[in-house]
Structure 1
Amino acid sequence: MVIPAEFADVGNFDGGFATVKRNGKWGYYDAQGKVAVPVEFEEVSGPKENLALVKSGGKWGYYQVGDQMVISPKYKAAGLFSEGLAPVKNEGKWGYIDKTGKVIIPFHFEDAYSFSEGVAVVKVNGKYGFIDRSGVLVIKEQFADVNSSFQEGVATVKNGNKFGYIDRKGNVIASGYDQVFPFKNGIAEVRVEKTSFSLFAAVGYGSGTMSIGGPEFNNALLPQNTKRGYIDQTGKEVVPTKYDFSSVFHEGLAAVNVHDKWGFVDTNGKIVIPFRFDEIGFPANNSFLEEKLGFFCGFAKVKMQGKWGVIDTTGKFVVPAEINSSSDLMGGSFGLLAVKKNGKWGYMDTNGKMAITPQFSDVGIFWNQALLDNEKSYYIQS
C-alpha cells in the first residue's frame, strides 16, 4: 500500500505526487508513500520545480516538497513555478517572484501566466502580449486572448472570433480557425466550422445545448459540421480541414473519419490506410497516452461488419475481424496479441495463429514479459 487508507479523498499520481484529503484539508503524498506536503491546507496545486502552491487563511504561498514552507501564504492569487519564476497577485496587479520570494518582475500586469520557453503571457490595457524574464514586452499587447503560451516555438492566439498561431517574433503563421490546439511533434490540430447551415426552431438553451422545437418559436441557424485537420510550424495544412474527426498522431498515423468511415493518414496528409472501418479502438487498456485511439506498438483495433480485429501500420489484418467485442481484444507487442476466446485469454501471433492457447482468466501486454492471472498471478517471458 503506497498511501494509507485513512483519507476522505485521494487523487491520481501526477508527476510523482498524489493529493490527499483529511478533515477538509489537503496535502500531497509521493510515490513512496511519504508525506510530501502536510495535510493541512485549504487548497493545493502542483508541485512543480519541487514547490507546491498551497492556500492557508485564504492566501497563497509555496511549500518545498518534503521540507517546509519557503514562501508564506500572503498572495490573493498565484501560479505555479516555471523556469524559476511564479506569477503572483498583489493589490490587484500581477508580477513575478523567484524561489526565495523576491520580486523579480514588478506588479503592473492585469493578468499573468507561467513562463514557457523563456516568455510569459501577460495582460496590459485589456490586451495580451508576451514578456521576457526581465519583464520587457517582446511581443506587444495586441491579442484578445491567448489559448496557450509557446510550445515548440509557437503560441495560440485569438483576435476577433478566430484563432491562429504566432512565432517567437509575433508573426502570424496561421489564422482563421474556430478551434486550435498546441503543437506536438511539429504539428497541431485545427478545426473550422463549415458554412453549411440547417434551419431549426430554437426553444431554449442551457449548459451549452440547444433544444429544437416547433414553428411557434423563433427560427435559428445552427452550424452543421466541424471539420478537423493539422498544420505544420510553417502554417501549412499538412492534413486538410475536411475530416469529421481526427485523433492525435500515434506512431506517425492519425485516425480520421469521413462519412462515418475510418482510415489513417500520415503527417503529410497522405491517406495510408483507406476509409473502410466502422470503428477504431486502441490496443492497450492501461496506456499513459493522452488519447486512446489508433496505433500502439504497431497495432490498432478496428471494427468491420460488426466484428473486431487488429491491423498493422500497413492496414493488413494480423488478427482477422472475427472477435465479437472490443474488450476481448487487447492488442500487444513483440509480435504477440492478447485475444479472448470462449472466456479465456491467450496470445495470437501476427500470422493469425494462436501462439499461446487461451487458458488464462486475465492477461497483460508483453513488454519483455507478461502478467497472467489464472487464479494466481505470475509472469511469462517473451
Structure 2
Amino acid sequence: MADLLHPFPAPYGREWPQKMGFINGTGNLVIPQEFDFSHHSKFGPGGYALVRKGRQRLIIDTNGQTAFELPSDTFNVWNIAPDEAGIFPVEHRIDHASPWAYVQDGRDRVYRGRSKYYAMDLTGNIRFEGYITKALHGHYFFKDSVSLSAPQGIMNHEGEVIVPAELHYINSSPTEPYLSVMRDGNFGVIDFAGNEILSISKKVTRFSDFSRVSNGLVQYYDDATKMCPSISLDGEEVGHLPPNQWMYYPACPTLSDGLALLHWERHDGDAVYVDAYGGYMLGDDRKPIIFSPEKRMGFFYEGLATIRQDDKAGFIDKTGAIVIPRQFYGASDFSGGLARVTQTYDDHSSQRYSFINQAGEVVAQNF
C-alpha cells in the first residue's frame, strides 16, 4: 500500500456501538466512521481490512468499498485480512444453525460444534483446505491441528505444502523474506521455499533464545558463553550481544529498527540500546547512554522510540535526544508516519485520541 491507513475511532460514549473509520498519513479522514469499533480492524499489506457493521462481517478495500461479505456460518481466523492475492483464512462452522452448538462462558458465547478450515478468496471460492495462522510474502503458515502448541509448516497459494508442519516456532523478518525457525530444539534460518539459509543446527531451549533476521543478521543465545552471538546468514560471527535479564531466564535481545532495548545486568533496572554488532548508543562523551529505571523506554520504530517518566511520554531519536517532549499521558509507536497519543487519563479512558507526525504536530483528532 502506498499510504497506510490508520484506524480512527469515534470517542467512547458518543454512540453505541462505538464507531470507527480510517485516516491516511496526513490525517485526512478517507473512510467515514460507519463501522463498529474493533481493535482488530486494520489494513493488511494486501490493501484490505476486516470490519463489522451490525451483524455484517465485511472485508473492505482502501476506498471503503465492500469487497466481500462473509456468510453467516463463516468466520475469519486470527483476524488475517486478505493478502495481495485476495486470499484469507476462514472457519466454516458446520453446526452454526444448531442451538446446541453454542454455550455461554461468562459473557462470551462459545462455539462447540464441528468446523472446517479453508483458504477463501474474495469471490467466496474455497482455494484449499487448511488451518492458516499467518499470511506473508505470498505464503501461508499452517498447522495440522488447532492446538496452540501444534507445530507449523508453510504452504503456497495453491495449498501445496512447501515445508511440513514440523517447525515448533517461526519468527518472520521485518526486513527480508527469511524466517528464523526452531525444530526439535535446534535453531536456523530458512527462506519461503524451505531452503536452509542458516543450518537448523544450533541448540536452543525456547523461542526467546533466538531473534528474527534483521538487515542480514540474526542472534541466538549460546549457553556455553552466556552471550548472544550476532551472525550473518553465511554463519560468520560479527559481534556479541549480552542477553536481556528482565525475564526469569536470559533472553536474546530483539532488534527493532536496527536497535535492541537491553536491560543491562551491570546496572540493575537500567536500560541501554545496542545494535546488532554489540555497539551501544553513545552520548557526546562516547560512553553508553544509560536510561535509569524511572525512565520507561520503548522499542524504535521509524527512527523514534517512546520515553515515559513521571506519567508523561515523549519520543527520542537514535542519538538519545528527546525530539518530541514528554507531554502525553499515552503514546503508541510510530507506524506509517503517525503515532496515536492521549493528553490526559480522562482522554485515555474515553478514547479521545490525537494523531501526531514525527515533528510532533497534531494532524488529526477524534474529538
TM-score by length of 1: 0.49
1:119 CA displacement: 8.8
The equivalent of 1:43 in structure 2 is 75
The equivalent of 1:101 in structure 2 is none
**Following superposition of structure 1 onto structure 2, how do residues 339-358 of structure 1 map, counting pairs within 5 Å?**
none
Cα deviation, 1:164-220, whole Å, max 9, x if unaligned, reads 44683565276123322321222335346799xxxxxxxxxxxxxxxxxxxxxxxxx
Paired residue for 1:52, among 78, 82, 88?
A: 88
The equivalent of 1:163 in structure 2 is 187
Paired residue for 1:277, among 271, 274, 291?
A: 291
Q: Does 1:233 align with 2:233?
A: yes
**Following superposition of structure 1 onto structure 2, how do residues 262-273 of structure 1 map, counting pairs within 5 Å?**
262-273=271-282
Give SS of 2:261's match. strand
**Following superposition of structure 1 onto structure 2, how do residues 68-83 of structure 1 map, counting pairs within 5 Å?**
68-71=123-126, 75=129, 77=131
Distance in 1 (CA, whole Å) between partners of 2:232 and 2:131 is 36
Distance in 1 (CA, whole Å) between partners of 2:332 and 2:141 is 45
Q: Is the 8 A contact 2:133 2:140 kept in 1?
A: yes
Give SS of 1:37's match. strand
Task: Return closer, same or farther for 1:156/1:84 CA change in 2, 3 Å cut-off.
Answer: closer
The equivalent of 1:256 in structure 2 is 262
The equivalent of 2:6 in structure 1 is none
Task: Return closer, same or farther for 1:367/1:232 CA change in 2, 3 Å cut-off.
Answer: same
Q: Is the 8 A contact 2:142 2:154 kept in 1?
A: no
**Following superposition of structure 1 onto structure 2, how do residues 324-363 of structure 1 map, counting pairs within 5 Å?**
327=329
**Following superposition of structure 1 onto structure 2, how do residues 107-256 of structure 1 map, counting pairs within 5 Å?**
112-115=153-156, 120-123=162-165, 128=166, 145=168, 147-148=170-171, 152=176, 154-165=178-189, 168-169=195-196, 172=199, 175-178=202-205, 179-191=209-221, 230-235=230-235, 236=237, 238-244=239-245, 246-250=253-257, 252-256=258-262
Distance in 2 (CA, whole Å) between partners of 1:30 and 1:158 is 36
Q: Is the 8 A contact 2:51 2:59 kept in 1?
A: yes
The equivalent of 1:19 in structure 2 is 50
Give SS of 1:46's match. coil
Amino acid at match of 2:81: G
1:247 CA displacement: 4.6
Cα deviation, 1:313-342, whole Å, max 9, x if unaligned, reads 33456789xx6x76389999xxxxxx9999
More strand by percentage:
1
Amino acid at match of 1:263: V
Distance in 2 (CA, whole Å) between partners of 1:244 and 1:27 is 44
Distance in 2 (CA, whole Å) between partners of 1:363 and 1:39 is 32
Q: Is the 8 A contact 1:300 1:312 kept in 2?
A: no
Cα deviation, 1:233-256, whole Å, max 9, x if unaligned, reads 244263424332645333x43322
Q: Is the 8 A contact 2:356 2:364 kept in 1?
A: no
Distance in 2 (CA, whole Å) between partners of 1:111 and 1:190 is 21
In the alignment, structure 1 segments of 5+ residues that lack a partner are 94-109, 129-143, 196-225, 283-291, 333-338, 344-360, 378-382
Cα deviation, 1:269-308, whole Å, max 9, x if unaligned, reads 11233252124556xxxxxxxxx524754676375x9998
Distance in 1 (CA, whole Å) between partners of 2:37 and 2:214 is 37
CA RMSD in angstroms, aligned pairs only: 5.5
Q: Is the 8 A contact 1:52 1:62 kept in 2?
A: yes
Give SS of 2:70's match. strand
Q: Is the 8 A contact 1:255 1:262 kept in 2?
A: yes
Q: Is the 8 A contact 2:227 2:240 kept in 1?
A: no
TM-score by length of 2: 0.51
Q: Is the 8 A contact 2:262 2:271 kept in 1?
A: yes
**Following superposition of structure 1 onto structure 2, how do residues 299-378 of structure 1 map, counting pairs within 5 Å?**
301=307, 312-315=317-320, 327=329, 365-366=356-357, 370-371=361-362
Amino acid at match of 1:42: T
Q: Percent identical across equivalent pairs?
A: 17
Number of aligned residue pairs: give it: 268
Give SS of 1:242's match. coil
Distance in 2 (CA, whole Å) between partners of 1:82 and 1:169 is 18
Amino acid at match of 1:121: V
Distance in 1 (CA, whole Å) between partners of 2:37 and 2:311 is 43
Cα deviation, 1:30-66, whole Å, max 9, x if unaligned, reads 333322221314222431211233344444455443x
The equivalent of 2:17 in structure 1 is none
